Amino acid sequence: MIGVTVLGSTGSIGVSTLDVMARHPDRFTAIALSANTQVERLFQQCLAHRPRYAVMVDEAAAEKLAQKIKSEGLETEVLSGVEGLERIASLDEVDQVMAAIVGAAGLAPTLAAARAGKRVLLANKEALVMSGDIFLSEVRRAGAELLPIDSEHNAIFQSMPTDFAKGLEQAGVERILLTASGGPFRTTPVDELAHVTPAQACAHPNWEMGRKISVDSATMMNKGLEVIEACWLFQTDASKVQVVIHPQSVIHSMVQYCDGSVLAQLGNPDMRTPIAHAMAWPTRMDSGVQELNIFDVARLDFEEPDLTRFPCLRLAYEAIEAGGTAPAILNAANEVAVDAFLDERLAFLDIPRVIEATLERVPHQAANSLSSILDDDQSARDMARQLVLESAA
């Protein structure tokens, strides 16, 4: 039996992971689940999956969960805080850790899983965006397995040769074609974007995602972060990663080879496919996803991204080229700006403006220690919050 910790079990990735696990009760068991503040949802998951541990990041929420667990007579032990997350990520009885906590908050427990030598199912792209070299060094040192869960990176992984780790050029890979849906505003006139509401930004045409990731998709910052993640996962530079807008979201990404071949992974837009692939790898198992009917799809369209419409994508390329802590600064500023937009304290078009100004005002440094990364992360958040306030003045 494979023991699994799900970090961020109440989010969309976490829910999909538990759905896949429930289809294979003879193969997987939930050792630990975690959430930030959603007490009732985590409680219901504890009732359904009977984990040994449950973690609420918020201490007050943990107390409420503990009371509900006790009243129900469950044997689940409730923990709290980042320390609780790191503990359940490194338990001896855990074999796989689904790293699905959104944003920088997922860095510490994901690093703990890597240091403990687990199979890390990486849905938290910020771990690599913020600390790529440090994170991968820990993976290699501990002999951990790192498998991508983002549909695009999982598709690239499936389309790569088995020996890609020796170097993409040596493996015959010319470039990575990273697909993007274009989000809800792909064809919206640019002059109308100034009045975009959070509800409109969160209405993704193809995928069901959390609010923060939905806004990132609308600005294409999500794709920019994925470019950075791809550079680390596949040990290449940004010039070898080309973003391709593909509105149908059927081709999840492609790999172009030196002989003219282009290999692609196709499927319905459902995160249970990459989750099941990574959990079962190197074998395959049922994910519960409906089979792709290519006759229903009928056509596949591709476009180049417009960097005027999507300046966040440009900023991400500039950050990875700058190197060091620049991607961490980019990510921190984006998290603050998106949070302000969702709270209706910042206009949609001001999201990239806040990010760009933060990158200009917070000098980046070498990302050779976790403390330097976290210091610049905090400086970027402070600067971005100040810029948000200035924009509202």
- 364 and 287 in a common domain: no
Pairing state of beta strands 262-266 and 241-245? unpaired
Written as one string, the DSSP assignment of 105-146 is: GGHHHHHHHHHTT-EEEE--THHHHHHHHHHHHHHHHHT-EE
Q: Verify that 131 and 77 share a domain, yes or no.
A: yes
For residues 113 and 166, state if they share a domain: no
Q: Does residue 62 fall inside a structural domain?
A: yes
Q: What is the 3-state secondary structure (H, E, C) of 189-251?
A: CHHHHHHCCHHHHCCCCCCCCCHHHHHHHHHCHHHHHHHHHHHHHCCCCHHHEEEEECCCCCE
Are 55 and 22 in a shared domain?
yes
For residue range 150-176, list pLDDT tens digits in order: 999 999 999 999 888 888 989 999 999
Which residues are bridge partners to 79 per DSSP? Answer: 55
Decide which of 93, 121, 148 is a domain's last residue.
Answer: 148
Residue 146 and residue 109: Cα distance in Å, rounded?
A: 14
In a 3-state reduction of DSSP, which class is residue 178? Answer: strand
**315 falls within a domain:** no
- What global pTM score does this model have? 0.92
Instruction: Give domain status of residue 309, yes or no.
Output: no
State whether 26 and 124 are in the same domain.
yes
Go through the chain and tell me how many residues it has: 393
Q: Is residue 341 part of a domain?
A: yes
* Residues 168, 109 share a domain: no
In this predicted structure, which of 157-171, 227-241, 332-346 has the lowest mean pLDDT?
157-171
Percent of the chain at pLDDT exceeding 70: 98
Q: Are residues 144 and 279 in the same domain?
A: no
Specify the CATH number for the domain of residue 330.
Answer: 1.10.1740.10
Same domain, 197 and 290: yes
Tokens of 227: 């470019």
Structural domain of residue 381, as residue ranges?
323-392
Give the span between the Cα atoms of 209 and 299, in whole angstroms. 25
The answer for residues whose C-beta is within 8 angstroms of residue 143's C-beta and 6 or more apart is 117
pLDDT > 90? residue 201:
no
Token pair, residue 344, equals: 């209706």
Residue 206: band (very low, low, confident or very high) from pLDDT cuts 50, 70, 90: low
Number of domains in the chain: 3
List Cα–Cα distances, 183 to 179, 217, 248, 344, 371, in angstroms.
12, 6, 11, 20, 35
Assess if residue 311 is contained within a domain: no
Domain-embedded: residue 284:
yes
In the predicted structure, residue 385 carries a pLDDT above the cut 90: yes
Work out the average pLDDT over 212-223: 92
In this structure, what CATH number is given to the domain that contains residue 6?
A: 3.40.50.720
Residue 120 pLDDT: 98
Please list, in sequence order, all residues whose beta carbon lies within 8 angstroms of the beta carbon of residue 108, skipping any fewer than 6 positions away: 82, 85, 86
Q: Is there a single domain that holds both residue 290 and residue 346?
A: no
Looking at the domain assignment, is residue 303 inside a domain? no
Q: Residue 308 domain-assigned?
A: no
Same domain, 253 and 349: no
Is the model's pLDDT at 246 over the cut of 90?
yes
| 55 shares its domain with 191 | no
So what's the pLDDT on residue 207? 61
Task: Identify the domain boundary among 116, 148, 180.
Answer: 148
Last residue of one domain, picked from the residues 121, 148, 175: 148
Residues 112 and 209 in one domain: no
DSSP assigned state of 55: E
pLDDT of residue 163: 86
